[in-house]
Structure 1
Amino acid sequence: MVDKTPAPHLFADVLARVHAVCGALAAEGGWPAGIDLSRVVVEPPRDAGHGDMATNAAMVLAKEAKTKPRDLAEAIAAKLRADDLIASVDVAGPGFINLTLKPKAWSDALQTVLGEGESYGRSSLGAAQKVNVEYVSANPTGPMHVGHCRGAVFGDALAGLLTFAGYDVTREYYINDAGAQVDVLARSAYLRYREALGEAIGEIPEGLYPGDYLKPVGQALAAQYGDKLLTMPESAWLPLARGKAIAMMMDEIKGDLAALNIKHDVFFSERSLIESGNNRVAETVDYLRSKGDVYEGRLPPPKGAPVEDYEDREQTLFRATAYGDDVDRPLLKSDGSYTYFASDIAYHRNKFDRGFTDMIDVWGADHGGYIKRVQAAIKAVTAGKAALDVKIVQLVKLLRNGEPVKMSKRSGDFVTLREVVDEVGKDAVRFMMLYRKNDAVLDFDLAKVIEQSRENPVFYVQYGHARGHSVFRNAREVVPDLPEEAPARAAFLANAPVERLTDPAELDLLRRLALYPRIVEAAALAHEPHRIAFYLYDLASEFHALWTRGRDLPYLRFIINNDAEITKARLALVQGVVSVLASGLAILGVNAPDEMR
């Protein structure tokens, strides 16, 4: 049986060596049993002049070791200096330890990249733990707009990142098909149905959806029912119009997502919580009541800004303050129907019942005030066994050459996701939606994202991958047997004399490649896929810079006509860059082209 466990990357290898040294010192010095090494990290130093890696081991262990950090650092450094991977160790300040590795460490790291190809950086960090990532979850009341686009891309890239880091990920979409907004959708569709039958409907009344996108729904209703709905009371035609409209809107939403190459594993209907034979919302509220977490009472008037769900009346409340929220929350409206929050509790309890203790929800910027109450509810319904991380995705400002883009004619009041994808392409949309932290407002300029320049990150990164393949094509004049397929090419270059890569720019590129697995794990732990996008841009920048230096300094060119061996060594470096660029772009759902024109 083949062992598919990822090999430890260089940073993990050095961390293991630091842990071993600390363990040895603990045994020699009689440190308390079970000392926690999880706080010890090995990372790149903030100042590259301080070495290749730095560790905080002495700073975080000094208290348990009952010694000064500086003294402990000197003891750790003394043992690390005997390590065959480490060239030098320096103790700085109150006890920071800076490490410089021997050149062989970097050439060995490149060999690891060549051996693992696009699987390099794949991690067992997640240990197959089940994670539910819920994203998009747009109301099925119309086509997706550019704001939905950012959440869709972020959620999908996060799911891809977690999968690459070893988690068992389920991509989920929550269909909000049980609230008042879908009844408004049904009435809007019914108006278009009357229009499809030939009636002049005039201006769309206030409160209904005005966009032309509902015309096909009206036509479909007319084709299916003829004029029969006209003779029915609203109580009879509304569920028919609602069902047809939701189904057609969800088909359109799935098509919009497919244009971004986004597919969900689960589409969960909110309505199923109350219409599946047993009312899961009522059941969940009863469960919380049995635990003493639901009571009848009054909420105090809100201080400062008004609370949107405050009513000065006796009502059914969830004891959210017992689980970290600022105020208890209503579960029933004045008309006796359940609040949206009550449905949300039941929905997340359903996730837990399906085996998810690790949940991630991607929400829009206007839902930030909703986080604490849902996290409190999850603690209550799972007895603290499940956790929810909510990632807020901020607004997108759509521009063209710096000017705001006008609203879509088809949608009525916003620019649709499909219009943006059709104009600039899936890759530009996906990469640029990730080239900023999710909780920062994003300026998306339709003109800038298709420029072929360094100022356009997606072009610059994809061009790095294409440039690498251009180098391979040109190199066959010097290395005629260089294979075309990546696995065969990597195997061919595995025995290249990579120890000849000694120029500082080449070594910097080797260090950047060695950093990739650590970036993957850090990004996965933080739930921040933008870190991959930033890393790819830095990697591409260093690669382009080295290529440019070769134009000015011929001895640094990737292809040296009279030296096949150094050419092979540099081709191995290029192969490492190409593999990592392809790997990172795949995580983000972006193509890695072999040619760009």
Structure 2
Amino acid sequence: MNLFADIRVLVIDALDTLVTEGVLPSGLDFANVAVEPPRDPLHGDMATNAAMVLAKPAGANPREIATKLSEKLAADMRVESVDVAGPGFINLRLSDAVWSNAIDTILQQDTGYGRSRMGQGRKVNVEFVSTNPTGPIHVGHTRGAVFGDALASLLQYAGYDVTREYYINDGGAQVDVLARSAFERYREACGFNPEIAEGMYPGDYLRAVGEAMKAKYGESLLSTPEDQWIDEVRTFATDQMMDMIRSDLETLGVSMDNFFSEKSLYGTNRIESAIAELDEKGLIYEGVLEPPKGKMPEDWEPREQTLFRSTDLGDDVDRPVKKSDGSWTYFAPDIAYHYDKVQRGFDEIIDIFGADHGGYVKRIKAAVSALSDGKVACDVKLVQLVKLYKNGEPFKMSKRAGTFVTLRDVVDQVGADVTRFVMLTRKNDAPLDFDFDKVLEQSKDNPVFYVQYAHARVRSVLRKGGWGDMSAAELSGHLDNANLVDTAELAVARKLADWPRQVEIAAKNHEPHRIAFYLYELASDFHSLWNKGNEDTSLRFLDEHDQPKASKIPLALAVSVVISAGLGMLGITPAEEMR
């Protein structure tokens, strides 16, 4: 059930009638006709922009169209009143019975309420985290992990076929540094003092890798030249680090469907094939780039390179894919990786990068557009930094990691559920302050607590009725129809009816934070109704004997259905009780 979509169908049908009657010309495009909540709830339950968006193509006055359209809409039994406002906006007020029926439908659909077929099974690849396998996941990657996982769940909820993917950056020089750093911890495990030179990875986490190396190789590598152990140690250390990264992600409740190795692109002709594909399209040439803007780097000099003509596809400058010495640039394997995604048949590619990858957005989009002939959509989301605070002071780095605060540091402090919700209380491209004290407060100012408290309140009421183990669908048959009479009750019902629309908006825009915002607003409306019952006993969910009222429970139960669905989408376990 999507009540907003149903009323939009009513509007479109009315417009078709006006076309048939000759009031409107034929051939009008109704795609931009929307039905949404009005900005001011006092204006009604829903509003449509139909007259405003159709006035110009119809060559008519918008208020005249609105007047004619409102006459058609008023004839529907669901519509209590229609008001034409301003230059031609139409506000609708629906009958109370509509909202009561909506609550009953929510309970019947239970976990299916709000799920959408918008995605139509389209295949989407969501690549996120993808941190170098050289250390634990830090707090910045944690935000990207939460965002990516929540986005993937949101898209699945909206009917897409989603693959969660991690790109292992194991093909660059950083894994050689990892191997040498791990070898020093291996020497330490063998009783020698490690020589952690500048530029190596100093974190204590590599001690476990060194111990594992000793367990496997004994002391046999100590007398072996580097050129004989570097490849094997590189692979061993990378595997160990990826095991740790997988474990860290599991701590946060994140599970990947696929891990793709950058190293697999080298020596397999896959990079060459991707570049050849671009070359066949006339997008590869030999040339010299203009000097970088701003202050000239001291080591810059004009060099002929192999370039990708990415400016033809919206980029600011053409991008090198092969250096003057014949080696591939960092961008070349990224092109090959995205070519692989295109060849795997994804209809859409979503990359989630850190804030420092802003310069990569246009070139990646250009590559995907070229490699797919514009058939595969590509969206790149940047995740901004997280600032940590505790006791009013910035939270310092982790000794275990050596240089940063890790995912486990955060989860150990507040738990996975709190971590996930707080990471979604800001849009991904906005900076986020994470205060360890505030996120654990039991107050309205803490959205995690406020949403969980609303769900726990409902569950408490259900337990008192002996219904704690029953699903909404099972329980609905034992309850009276929803009886909504007060403005506070209707406000909650309207918010619940907006859930399917919010899911589709969030999925369309790739914005899972909208779900967190919606849940907080729903919880706020529910708490307001609950508190209003302190003054008006007719609004209470429990009678004088502390037993649930059959006519009031449907609304509360519907709230728990939606909050449970929303939190589940965000990877958070709904609270049964608050402690």
| Both proteins in one fold, TM over 0.5 | yes
1:21-60 equivalence runs, <5 A: 21-29=14-22, 33-60=26-53
* Deviation, structure 1 residue 551: 1.6
* Deviation, structure 1 residue 251: 0.3
* Deviation, structure 1 residue 183: 1.1
- Counterparts of 2:443 and 2:85 in 1: how far apart (Å)? 41
- Counterparts of 1:329 and 1:65 in 2: how far apart (Å)? 46
- Counterparts of 2:441 and 2:305 in 1: how far apart (Å)? 57
Percent identity over paired residues: 58
Equivalent residue, structure 1, for 2:231: 239
In the alignment, structure 2 segments of 5+ residues that lack a partner are none
Matched, 1:545 2:521: no
1:390 aligned to which of 373, 376, 380: 380
1:253 aligned to which of 228, 241, 245: 245
- Counterparts of 1:303 and 1:178 in 2: how far apart (Å)? 30
- Counterparts of 2:301 and 2:259 in 1: how far apart (Å)? 34
* Deviation, structure 1 residue 373: 0.6
The letter for the 1-side match of 2:413 is: E
Distance 1:115 1:472, change over 3 A: same
SS of match in other structure, 1:207: coil
Q: Is the Cα contact below 8 Å between 1:87 and 1:102 reproduced in 2? A: yes
1:112-127 equivalence runs, <5 A: 112-127=105-120
The letter for the 2-side match of 1:414 is: F
1:317 aligned to which of 307, 321, 339: 307
Equivalent residue, structure 2, for 1:485: 470
- Counterparts of 1:250 and 1:572 in 2: how far apart (Å)? 47
Deviates more, 1:90-99 or 1:233-242: 233-242
- Counterparts of 1:26 and 1:144 in 2: how far apart (Å)? 59
Superimposed CA distance per residue, residues 530-570 of structure 1 (whole angstroms, 9 cap, x where no aligned partner): 11101111111111121111122222211234999x92121
Q: TM-score, length-normalised on structure 1?
A: 0.94
Deviates more, 1:413-422 or 1:251-260: 413-422
SS of match in other structure, 1:133: strand
Q: Is the Cα contact below 8 Å between 1:73 and 1:96 reproduced in 2? A: yes
The letter for the 2-side match of 1:511 is: R
* Deviation, structure 1 residue 35: 2.6
The letter for the 1-side match of 2:455 is: H
Distance 1:310 1:290, change over 3 A: farther
Superimposed CA distance per residue, residues 316-353 of structure 1 (whole angstroms, 9 cap, x where no aligned partner): 10001111101000011344221111111110110010
- Counterparts of 1:73 and 1:516 in 2: how far apart (Å)? 27
Q: Is the Cα contact below 8 Å between 1:493 and 1:569 reproduced in 2? A: no
SS of match in other structure, 1:148: helix
SS of match in other structure, 1:49: helix
The letter for the 2-side match of 1:119 is: G
- Counterparts of 1:102 and 1:552 in 2: how far apart (Å)? 26
Distance 1:307 1:539, change over 3 A: farther
- Counterparts of 2:298 and 2:75 in 1: how far apart (Å)? 64
- Counterparts of 1:298 and 1:329 in 2: how far apart (Å)? 10
1:101-116 equivalence runs, <5 A: 101-116=94-109
- Counterparts of 1:457 and 1:111 in 2: how far apart (Å)? 28
Equivalent residue, structure 1, for 2:569: 587
Equivalent residue, structure 2, for 1:471: 461
Superimposed CA distance per residue, residues 507-533 of structure 1 (whole angstroms, 9 cap, x where no aligned partner): 111111111111111111011011110
Equivalent residue, structure 1, for 2:356: 366
Superimposed CA distance per residue, residues 291-314 of structure 1 (whole angstroms, 9 cap, x where no aligned partner): 211100101112236699975201
* Deviation, structure 1 residue 489: 4.9
Matched, 1:555 2:530: no
SS of match in other structure, 1:99: strand
- Counterparts of 2:309 and 2:488 in 1: how far apart (Å)? 60
Superimposed CA distance per residue, residues 117-162 of structure 1 (whole angstroms, 9 cap, x where no aligned partner): 1221011111111111111111100011111100000000000111
Equivalent residue, structure 2, for 1:596: 578
Q: Is the Cα contact below 8 Å between 2:144 and 2:383 reproduced in 1? A: yes
Q: Is the Cα contact below 8 Å between 2:306 and 2:324 reproduced in 1? A: no
Aligned length: 579
* Deviation, structure 1 residue 447: 1.3
Q: Is the Cα contact below 8 Å between 1:299 and 1:311 reproduced in 2? A: no
Matched, 1:226 2:226: no
Distance 1:310 1:87, change over 3 A: farther
Q: Is the Cα contact below 8 Å between 1:490 and 1:572 reproduced in 2? A: no
SS of match in other structure, 1:229: coil
SS of match in other structure, 1:331: strand
SS of match in other structure, 1:29: coil
- Counterparts of 1:223 and 1:426 in 2: how far apart (Å)? 33
Superimposed CA distance per residue, residues 19-74 of structure 1 (whole angstroms, 9 cap, x where no aligned partner): 11111112222755543211111000011111110111111112222211111111
SS of match in other structure, 2:378: strand
Equivalent residue, structure 1, for 2:137: 144
SS of match in other structure, 1:510: helix
Equivalent residue, structure 2, for 1:3: none
1:405-424 equivalence runs, <5 A: 405-424=395-414
Equivalent residue, structure 2, for 1:273: 265
- Counterparts of 1:234 and 1:331 in 2: how far apart (Å)? 30
Matched, 1:576 2:555: no
Q: Is the Cα contact below 8 Å between 1:115 and 1:490 reproduced in 2? A: no
* Deviation, structure 1 residue 458: 0.8
- Counterparts of 1:411 and 1:484 in 2: how far apart (Å)? 44
Q: Is the Cα contact below 8 Å between 1:58 and 1:73 reproduced in 2? A: yes
- Counterparts of 2:250 and 2:468 in 1: how far apart (Å)? 34
- Counterparts of 2:327 and 2:15 in 1: how far apart (Å)? 60
Distance 1:70 1:304, change over 3 A: farther
Distance 1:307 1:457, change over 3 A: farther
- Counterparts of 1:288 and 1:436 in 2: how far apart (Å)? 38
Equivalent residue, structure 1, for 2:279: 289
SS of match in other structure, 2:47: strand
SS of match in other structure, 2:498: helix
Matched, 1:9 2:2: yes
In the alignment, structure 1 segments of 5+ residues that lack a partner are 1-7
Equivalent residue, structure 1, for 2:501: 518
Matched, 1:173 2:163: no
Deviates more, 1:327-336 or 1:533-542: 327-336
1:88-107 equivalence runs, <5 A: 88-107=81-100
Q: Is the Cα contact below 8 Å between 1:31 and 1:64 reproduced in 2? A: no
SS of match in other structure, 1:139: coil
SS of match in other structure, 2:439: helix
Superimposed CA distance per residue, residues 197-238 of structure 1 (whole angstroms, 9 cap, x where no aligned partner): 222235x21111111111121222222223333343333211
Q: TM-score, length-normalised on structure 2?
A: 0.96
SS of match in other structure, 1:143: coil
Distance 1:483 1:343, change over 3 A: closer
* Deviation, structure 1 residue 282: 1.2
Query: Alignment RMSD, CA only?
Result: 1.9
The letter for the 1-side match of 2:486 is: D
- Counterparts of 1:306 and 1:118 in 2: how far apart (Å)? 59
